[in-house]
Amino acid sequence: MCGIAGKIYLQSGEINERDLALMSDKIAHRGPDDQGIYISPDKKVGLVHRRLAIIDLTASGHQPMSYLNKYWITFNGEVYNFKEERKKLEKYGYNFRSESDTEVILALYDKWGVRCVEYLRGMFAFAIYDMQKQTVFLARDRVGKKPLKYFFSPKVFAFASELKALLTLPEIKAEPDIDILETYLAYGYVPAPQTGFKNIYKLEPGHYLTLDLKHKTLNKHCYWEIDFTKKLDLGENEWKTKILQTLEESTRLRMISDVPIGAFLSGGVDSSSIVAMMTKLSTKPVKTFTIGFSESQYDESKYAQIVSDIFHTEHTVLQVKPGSVDILPELAEQFEEPFADSSALVTYLVSRLAKQYVTVILNGDGGDENFSGYSHHLKLWRDYLLSPLAKYFPVGKYLKSLHSGVLEKYLEYKTHFDFEGPKDVYRNAYQNAKAIDIRDKILTADFKYYLPDDLLTKVDLASMKVALECRSPLLDYKMVELAAQIPFDLKVKNGKTKYIFKKSLEDILPKEILHRPKMGFSIPLAKWFSQELNSYARSILLDKKSHINNIYPKNKIAQMLDKHSEKNDFGPQLWKLLMLELWWKKYF
């Protein structure tokens, strides 16, 4: 796990080491163990690397790394199947001088060109400079665990793991993209390829870029996307076997490490399943970490303790209080785009806690997306069943809403500000989905936008702020592809979410964990905005110098703050506005 960056001149100009050093400094937190800079002989290409040493702790893993005197790479992530691919490459005659996965990527690129990404099982973002072809090849993993942001103009191309590194370059000016802010307010994040900054973009998951230095062209290609059309007709027992086999394999691969390893444990089904598998595969007690709240409806620590007791983990709990919001300006800077997932706060705090004990952490991210575990997935299932009946029941708010269609109803679940334009983000994903079932079509948008641009962004930027590597077994692409083959009616069944996944775990986890109420991983916004957070938000949002007034009326903000209570909850809307203002103050 590392930080990467680079700058390429397409016209006149020469790379200077100072520019690269400034970029490196801005992502130093991602890789405190080592740093490296490469400048091509013609001084047109500069690559930067910051290293967090996880595998092959020796100097042989230093980057940027060269290969065959033809290629240079800067790589962020982990390729879990690199030993398997290395053996195959050795049969083709390839030789290796290190034990790193980075060198395997280079050999795969030499053998297969841009198709090398098809052979990589893991999380990654990398750039390969091909000296002979005079191209730069940049790629991002299938589901978007590792970030890659870039800037392209006739004069210069630049990229980085974090956008803040790009803003150090004299050619790049920080300008807000006003047109995308309604979309942010609707969803709480900025969907790719936009970032909230003009002329700075993020590469979508499952895509790669090819930069041709001779012709000064940049092309983008999609090499993978989720496909719900390949359903399998299997019995429940067959599905249970396949799910458990894939889960065990994906967990085992993510336990490969030369540094201490642990797990986030909420006591929910997903994180508990990972801890169960880690315990099965480990000869030592697993170190687990969780967050606790004084508010009982948000506190999952008692469930985490149950799981810890069952699997005899070395467990640590951190209690979070409203005063923790003092770090919000720091988080707004780290998240660098407008970002309003309130669980980013607790993700950062638990990452900071875990870093005191381990360098690698496993989590349960992806279980809800794969197996339909969110409350709105249950509502989607109900709407789907009831929608044919809606025309016969013209009265009644709930049934009336079904007339607008299942997709439009789903959009109501997903947004807090009712802007019409941003809804096209999900509508377009729905229309272009590789799916037959309308419910799978809608879930495609969660995989395309919510998962990478909210959930995975949150985990990457919060954990890498403290140089902690997060791994997600449930987001192994083979698990994602397997889950996409499961009929929706086995995911949500008899009014229960994650039906087949929970059935798979019946012999592993107790009923009180499998069938406990879902609480979600978030902070008590309703209560906090009724207490200390309300006055904090007033001082920021209602200040005469606040920028938010250019986007959203101050009188409406004041009304929400005045009327807010735990029963009359404006917490999600106020949090989005607050984080937007903090972002604006930091970057403009």
pLDDT digits (tens, 9 = 90+) for 83-126: 999 999 999 999 999 999 999 999 999 999 999 999 999 999 99
In this prediction, residue 520 carries a pLDDT of 64
Task: Please list, residue by residue across 234-249, b when 16 or more beta carbons sit within 10 angstroms of its beta carbon and e when fewer do.
Answer: beeeebbebbbebbeb
Confidence of residue 300 (pLDDT cuts 50, 70, 90): confident
Q: Do 368 and 270 meet the contact criterion of CB atoms below 8 Å apart?
A: yes
Comparing CA positions, the residue from 440, 447, 414 lying closest to residue 144 is 447
- With a cut of 60, say whether residue 403 has pLDDT above it: no
Q: Do 351 and 465 meet the contact criterion of CB atoms below 8 Å apart?
A: yes
> Residue range 530-545: average pLDDT?
93
Q: How many other CB atoms sit within 10 Å of the CB of residue 549?
A: 16
pLDDT digits (tens, 9 = 90+) for 163-192: 999 999 999 999 999 999 999 999 999 999
Number of H helices, E strands in the chain: 24, 17
Distance CA 134, CA 93 (A): 25
Say which amino acid occupies 478: K
Q: How are beta strands 71-79 and 65-67 bridged, if at all? A: antiparallel
In this prediction, residue 120 carries a pLDDT of 98
- With a cut of 60, say whether residue 392 has pLDDT above it: no
> Residue range 40-68: average pLDDT?
88
Confidence of residue 54 (pLDDT cuts 50, 70, 90): confident
How far does CA 73 lie from the centroid of its chain? 23
How far does CA 40 lie from the centroid of its chain? 32
pLDDT digits (tens, 9 = 90+) for 434-459: 999 999 998 999 999 999 999 999 99
Q: What is the mean pLDDT of the chain?
A: 93
Residue 108 is classified by DSSP as H
Q: Do 342 and 523 meet the contact criterion of CB atoms below 8 Å apart?
A: yes
Residue numbers annotated as active site: 2
Comparing CA positions, the residue from 257, 211, 217 lying closest to residue 52 is 257
> Residue range 72-87: average pLDDT?
97
- Percent of the chain past pLDDT 70, that is, above it, reads 95
Q: Give the predicted TM-score (pTM) of the model.
A: 0.94
Distance CA 273, CA 244 (A): 10
Say which amino acid occupies 367: G
Confidence of residue 242 (pLDDT cuts 50, 70, 90): very high
In this prediction, residue 302 carries a pLDDT of 93
Length of the chain: 588
Confidence of residue 150 (pLDDT cuts 50, 70, 90): very high
Q: Do 231 and 491 meet the contact criterion of CB atoms below 8 Å apart?
A: no
In this prediction, residue 1 carries a pLDDT of 65
Confidence of residue 404 (pLDDT cuts 50, 70, 90): low
Comparing CA positions, the residue from 190, 195, 165 lying closest to residue 74 is 165
| Sequence-distant (≥ 6) Cβ neighbours of residue 517 within 8 angstroms | none
Distance CA 122, CA 77 (A): 8
Query: According to the 3-state scheme, what is the secondary structure of 454-499?
Result: HHHHHHHHHHHCCCCEEECHHHCHHHHHHHHCCCHHHCCECCECCH
- With a cut of 90, say whether residue 325 has pLDDT above it: no
For residues 393 and 227, the model is more confident at 227
Confidence of residue 515 (pLDDT cuts 50, 70, 90): very high
> Residue range 517-524: average pLDDT?
76
- With a cut of 60, say whether residue 318 has pLDDT above it: yes
Residue 536: its H or E element: helix 532-541
pLDDT digits (tens, 9 = 90+) for 9-19: 999 999 999 99
Distance CA 241, CA 41 (A): 55
In this prediction, residue 58 carries a pLDDT of 64
pLDDT digits (tens, 9 = 90+) for 411-428: 888 888 888 889 999 999
Distance CA 279, CA 275 (A): 6
Distance CA 362, CA 251 (A): 8
Q: How many other CB atoms sit within 10 Å of the CB of residue 272?
A: 30
Distance CA 137, CA 130 (A): 8
Decide: helix, strand or coil at residue 48.
Answer: strand
Comparing CA positions, the residue from 464, 455, 472, 473 lying closest to residue 520 is 455
Beta strands in 15-130 (DSSP E): 34-39, 45-51, 65-67, 71-79, 122-130
- Give the DSSP per-residue string, 133-145: TTEEEEEE-SS--
Distance CA 316, CA 202 (A): 36
Decide: helix, strand or coil at residue 220.
Answer: strand
Confidence of residue 394 (pLDDT cuts 50, 70, 90): low
Q: Of 58-72, 190-204, 207-221, which range is least confident?
A: 58-72
> Residue range 56-82: average pLDDT?
90
Comparing CA positions, the residue from 39, 10, 5 lying closest to residue 169 is 5
Say which amino acid occupies 63: Q
In this prediction, residue 576 carries a pLDDT of 97
Instruction: Please tell me whether the peptide bond between 193 and the residue prior to it is cis, using omega within 30 degrees of 0.
Output: yes
Distance CA 320, CA 79 (A): 34
| Sequence-distant (≥ 6) Cβ neighbours of residue 574 within 8 angstroms | 525, 529, 537, 541, 557, 560, 561, 564
Distance CA 378, CA 383 (A): 9
Distance CA 419, CA 439 (A): 23
Say which amino acid occupies 236: E
Q: How are beta strands 469-471 and 360-362 bridged, if at all? A: parallel
Could you tell me the sign of the dihedral formed by the alpha carbons of 356, 359, 364, 365, in that order?
Answer: positive
Place of tokens 């490196």: 24
Q: How are beta strands 200-202 and 149-152 bridged, if at all? A: antiparallel
Alpha helices in 38-100, H assignment, sequence order: 82-91
pLDDT digits (tens, 9 = 90+) for 455-508: 999 999 999 999 999 999 999 999 999 999 999 999 999 999 999 999 999 999
Angle at 37 between CA 35 and CA 38, to 5 degrees: 150
Decide: helix, strand or coil at residue 432.
Answer: coil
For residues 258 and 431, the model is more confident at 431
Spell out the domains of the chain, with CATH numbers in brackets.
2-222 (3.60.20.10), 236-371+450-514 (3.40.50.620), 375-444 (no CATH), 525-587 (no CATH)
In this prediction, residue 320 carries a pLDDT of 86
Distance CA 237, CA 240 (A): 5
In this prediction, residue 412 carries a pLDDT of 85
Confidence of residue 380 (pLDDT cuts 50, 70, 90): confident
pLDDT digits (tens, 9 = 90+) for 21-36: 999 999 999 999 999 9
- With a cut of 70, say whether residue 69 has pLDDT above it: yes
